[in-house]
A and B are shown apart, each in its own frame.
Chain A
């Protein structure tokens, strides 16, 4: 028996020697295409909160692979890294290992990425959905997002057209009762509020008397919560549902009740699917890798737009109204040209927000005219943990006064509940 023990120990030693002797073979990624000499030896890494099994992360993973293949760089993807110390550990390990650029995909990864960035000034750290890069001023740490509000606005336009198709009379007007839509949100903070407000404004541009009811599930992914919440919204008279939550709970409820659904992040193969919007991260990844390879500085905040193809709409579902494709094309052109702004202050009022006296009130930061249109708003752009707004984000370009979302910082900061939206 002692022989077996010594045999085992020998085996262990052999394996250890093999491990130290061999260098790891090509980790992942396609063979490098011939050409770009800068890409020799360049290594990129992506840190994911979950894995391919989550549509949120799959979006990042797919885009990352495309970007790295296009740039001809070696890459590694690591999954299931929670929003904690482990993110720092992994980022530091990659830096130790000679990686040139490291990306992370979840909001809570930010401080750990920043911590690693401070320790490894020669490596680029790029964080998606983060908020602190522009105040932290760490040269090799930056945030990125996309103007997804434009995508949601367009999705809202499609939704509005559907409402008109279903309930509109000859003059394309929809009764108040039928102009009610519902939204299943995850958490009550800026990213979600910006999302549903832009969606609502899109609907409103087609159906001026539209109202929206919002309910939160308190989770990014909770199938039963999202389905039940959607059912509650439908039971409350909502004629169309959209969501900012990752599961299929809400589309399923819509399917069962025969209510049109506008989705996020992926196509749902249901009869009630109208359209979905999503962020395409590949342009950012390619841009950042390009800058890193050339040794150029990557901006603290980078906001992808429809022009950079960072904001995409999926193909229209069977449920979409006739004429939607053409209308979306024309609105998209106007958005790209700047003749239409999603958060045009003339299109919404904030009287209720001004009258809000609760602990969460934004009234102190709002300046509005007599009709309730915003003239100035101090948004909490500098995320210093105090949740106090300090930067006026209302701009005027040409003759449009608008809330400049994602211009002062890439991650959204629109957190006002505008009139017409009720939170349940």
Chain B
């Protein structure tokens, strides 16, 4: 597997897995307005997935399409961050997970806009505007719920305690990242940590939430070594149609 192909899978799998998770709220969100907003976010992410995985399939040159990559790979072939496959649990948890990712994705995409790979720069330019809006929205909601009622505060603090150990993986750099950095294709993930910290610290302060002291980080998503058990369950729902009726289309 080429480093560029792996890098593109990571981007596409991040948006695919989070996009599917967010789409699970469709018809079930606590208010009509939030329902539509979450569906919009999910659709943005799936649209970005088409671009990332579409390019990945071209680079692979194995005759596969973006759809093949999305619907016919198993959990161990996925390269998404573990954070994004964690279950939705509740609305606050979902929005906090979204915020922790958005705060990472916005500076990443901003940096990718000047990638030496023009195709990646173009994808990042389009996706960047969507990510900025996602961040504005998730950040406001996290602050409102964290600094809301006693009940909403408790739910948000619990979500932060659960999710914190999944944030470290975003800033792990490995051999794929080194190859991308060397060619000017993508930034070193470790370089995104400071700006992420600034965004997240400011929001958590306003939300009256405290990040756990422990900086243990779960790893194994972006390199595919060890996904959580949640990903297979999610894929079994997401992929059931193509698995049951191969090639079905409408």
Query: Do chains A and B stick together as partners?
Result: no
Q: Which B residues are closer than 8 A to A by beta carbons?
A: none
